[in-house]
Amino acid sequence: MARSSRDIFDQHLAPTTPFPLGLEIARAEGSWLYDPQGNAYLDLIAGVAVSNLGHGHPEVKKAIHEQVERHLHLMVYGEYIQSPVNNLADALTQRLPAALETCYFTNSGAEAIEGALKLAKRVTGCSEIISFRGSYHGSTHGALSVSGNESKKQAFRPLLPDVRFLPFGQLGPLKGAITEKTAAVIVEPIQGDAGIRIPDRAFLQALRDRCNESGALLIFDEIQSGMGRTGELFAFSHWGVVPDVLCTAKALGGGLPLGAFIARAAHMRAFTAYPMLGHITTFGGNPVSCAAALATLEAIEREALLEGVEAKGALIERALQDPRVKEIRRKGLFMAIEFATPQEVQHIVQYCLARGGHAFWFLSCPESFRLAPPLNISDADLKHGCAVIREAIEQLDSISL
């Protein structure tokens, strides 16, 4: 007897929560997901800030198909010269400040963080890392070590030593904490899974100044906020504060797995000796992923998508004004809508899903839900999605939570 897809999912795929959404998707197109019965779901989270061009963008699919016809994986990262990898590195660095000139491509955001932390230790000769409360940098041991949610970490200790946490957005503690013993300060310019926490320029500039004074490297984690999510290609451009190392992933690959950490060439050369292969990856810079990434980057620019991000975010913010909404925090289409309790958020997410809309919660801020729709979502689809969310909000007064 044939087993159902849900049975296989439950029995043979490792679970991450006791209550997965369990939505079965057969295909996706534009801003919409479709189940095997043809029911449509408006994707308002874009795979958690991954599908910034929506699903099945023709230029991305074309680039993937053309590269598949040429070749797939050839060799471990850093040994062969491959045009998709070269072209992506050239395109990215042309669009970044001069200090961010050399790319190391990885498979994921967590791997980009791991590489950046190793690079800082290698360049500075120090081991101390400063991070911030509420931060999220990934689930591998190093990335988890510098993430600021203790409840997610406790079961996996011991983690990396010499990691210190400061309050996010506060200037006072910086001077005494960041010293000549500090290898790196790692920070999300906008904290994502903490519920879209946006600092002012003075905080990021103070981090830059303290790193300059102490010799520590400043690492910006733009894994969620990059590739146009905030209305700039990378969020740090809003403040004009440039990091020593930039980490990116998620939307970078256009729906395929790809991450990168980007830094000065002189710093990256630290991996080439004492020991050689100081950092190495088999699949980093996969040629098909790099081809998809370049097509994504070019489509964002050709379609002038960055110019419309703020207006779309403002449309959502206006549509969701309600006395039950405690706060809306956003930069562009990087958004958190906060309520009094996590139970209200759970109701909204489940209600929307039942009516063909897909919102989601935050890892470290359960009283808020996230919205991160594709950058090219139509205004009509946005208005439809907001109408469904408003229905869910209006139900709150009539149900028992």
Q: Are 340 and 355 in contact (CB under 8 A)?
A: no
Q: Cβ-count burial of 201 within 10 angstroms (0-12 exposed, 13-18 middle, 19+ buried)?
A: exposed
DSSP state, residue 55: B
Q: Which residue, chain included where needed, has tokens 């991954």?
A: 50
Selection from 379, 373, 289 nearest residue 50 by Cα: 373
What are the residue ranges in the chain where pLDDT is below 50?
none
**Residue 119: how many CB atoms within 10 A of its CB?**
26
Q: Report how far apart, in Å, the C-alpha atoms of 89 and of each of 226, 241, 294 are.
A: 16, 21, 9
Please tell me the distance from the alpha carbon of residue 120 to that of residue 113, in angstroms, as a whole number: 11
SS3 at position 56: coil
Q: E-assigned strands of 32-92?
A: 32-34, 40-43
Task: Report the pLDDT value the prediction gives residue 367, as an integer from 0 to 100.
Answer: 97
Rg (CA), the chain: 21
* Domains located in the chain, CATH noted: 5-52+305-398 (3.90.1150.10), 58-302 (3.40.640.10)
- Would you state the structure tokens that stand for residue 168, as one six-digit string? 């996010």
Task: Report the pLDDT value the prediction gives residue 282, as an integer from 0 to 100.
Answer: 96
SS3 at position 190: coil
Task: Report the pLDDT value the prediction gives residue 400, as an integer from 0 to 100.
Answer: 67
Task: Report the pLDDT value the prediction gives residue 175, as an integer from 0 to 100.
Answer: 87
Task: Report the pLDDT value the prediction gives residue 262, as an integer from 0 to 100.
Answer: 98
Please tell me the distance from the alpha carbon of residue 189 to that of residue 205, in angstroms, as a whole number: 11
What pTM was estimated for this model as a whole?
Answer: 0.97
- Would you state the structure tokens that stand for residue 147, as one six-digit string? 């993430």
Task: Report the pLDDT value the prediction gives residue 399, as an integer from 0 to 100.
Answer: 77
Task: Report the pLDDT value the prediction gives residue 223, as an integer from 0 to 100.
Answer: 98
Phi-psi region of 329 (alpha: psi -120 to 50; beta: other; left: phi over 0): beta
